[in-house]
Amino acid sequence: MNKSRMHTSRYAGLVSLLACFAAFGACAPKHIHEEPILQNGDRVDDGSATVYEASVQAEADHQRAAADREAIAAEALSTCAPEVCDAIVRQEVWLGMNEVQVMAATGTTEHAWSVRRAGGSFVMTPRDTHMPPSDAVGNLAMVQLADNSVQRYAYRESQGVRVVTSPEQASTEGRATAMAETLIQEGDRFAAVGDLDAALDRYDRASILAPDDPLIDYRIATVLDKALRPIEAQVQYELFLHRLDLERIEAQGDADAKLAEAIALAQQRIVVLERSR
């Protein structure tokens, strides 16, 4: 019995000793031989060769693009009508231009555009919306051609997209009118939701762009009236009526229903505001 216990005890001790050796071996550091990345005396590549190659390639690409633009401009000017030639020189897209002339006016090549063709018409849109083609007026959102002749084009402006379909719209006055109309629409939306300060801001800006539109004065007057600014409102109502030349309108009877309603309301509000002072 004692011998059996001694044998068991020795066996347990041996197992414990082996376990300790195994644990020690697992925790001991392991040495792995790795090839050195650099040898003594080696130098790290500073990348100058790569940078030089990239700069040479960029310069070559730049010169090639410049040559392409010069060729496009030469072709565009060789076949253009007088007004189109003038627009190319001004670097401005114009109605009646062909595809090459559009690229000449914008100083671009075919790589700047994504073209969608359908039969005899096609639409040119910017390939990169972050760097869209532009002319002297602004960034272009779209150019539509039929039979290789520009029928309409659009600019992406702060107030939204402005479409040009006639020479009048392409003029400075046309651009101002289009922007004024956009501001008036924004002002109407703000006025409808009760944001009178924002509405007044839009109407004031529109009145600068379209000084000959008396209905803008009427809109300003109504906003001031709602904002409980009676003195300013009365002045704007009176300015609105004064600019309409009421005697001529009454004599000719050419006031439309909307204008006639505005005239009547303005006259009523002037009376009310005068009595309230």
**Which one of 13-27, 71-85, 159-173 scores highest in mean pLDDT?**
71-85
Task: Give yes or no for residue 102 having a pLDDT over 90.
Answer: yes
Mean pLDDT to the nearest integer, 52-67: 79
Assess whether 150 and 175 both reside in one domain: no
Assess whether 151 and 163 both reside in one domain: yes
Any idea which of 105-114, 132-141, 144-153, 237-246 has the lowest mean pLDDT? 237-246
261 token code pair:
């309603």
Q: Is residue 17 part of a domain?
A: no
Mean pLDDT to the nearest integer, 48-61: 76
Mean pLDDT to the nearest integer, 139-151: 93
Whole-angstrom CA distances from 7 to 4, 15, 19 are: 5, 12, 18
Task: Give yes or no for residue 159 having a pLDDT over 80.
Answer: no
Main-chain dihedrals φ then ψ at residue 152, nearest 5 degrees: -160, 160
Quick one: pLDDT band at residue 79, thresholds 50, 70, 90?
Answer: confident
What number of other Cβ atoms are within 10 A of residue 88's Cβ? 22
- pLDDT in the model for residue 71: 92
pLDDT digit string (tens) for 165-183? 888 888 778 888 888 888 9
Closest alpha carbon to 244 in 262, 265, 271, 230 = 262
Number of domains in the chain: 2
Q: Is residue 1 part of a domain?
A: no
**Domain extent at residue 161:** 61-169
Q: How far is CA 274 from the centre of its chain?
A: 47
Q: What is the CA radius of gyration of the chain?
A: 39
How far, in Å, CA of 125 to CA of 102, rounded?
Answer: 12
- pLDDT in the model for residue 105: 94
133 token code pair:
């083609």
The domain that contains 266 carries what CATH number? 1.25.40.10
pLDDT digit string (tens) for 181-212? 889 999 999 999 999 999 999 999 999 988 88
Assess whether 77 and 154 both reside in one domain: yes
- Sign, CA dihedral 49-55-59-64, equals positive
Q: Is residue 44 part of a domain?
A: no
186 token code pair:
């924004």
What number of other Cβ atoms are within 10 A of residue 22's Cβ? 10
| 86 phi-psi bin (left φ>0, alpha ψ -120 to 50, beta other) | alpha
With pLDDT > 70 as the criterion, what percentage of the chain qualifies? 78
Residues in CB range of 267: below 8 A, 6 or more apart: 237, 241
Assess whether 144 and 207 both reside in one domain: no
Angle between helices 230-244 and 257-276 (to 10 degrees): 140
| 214 phi-psi bin (left φ>0, alpha ψ -120 to 50, beta other) | alpha
Q: Of the residues 169, 204, 230, which one is the last residue of a structural domain?
A: 169
Mean pLDDT of the chain: 81
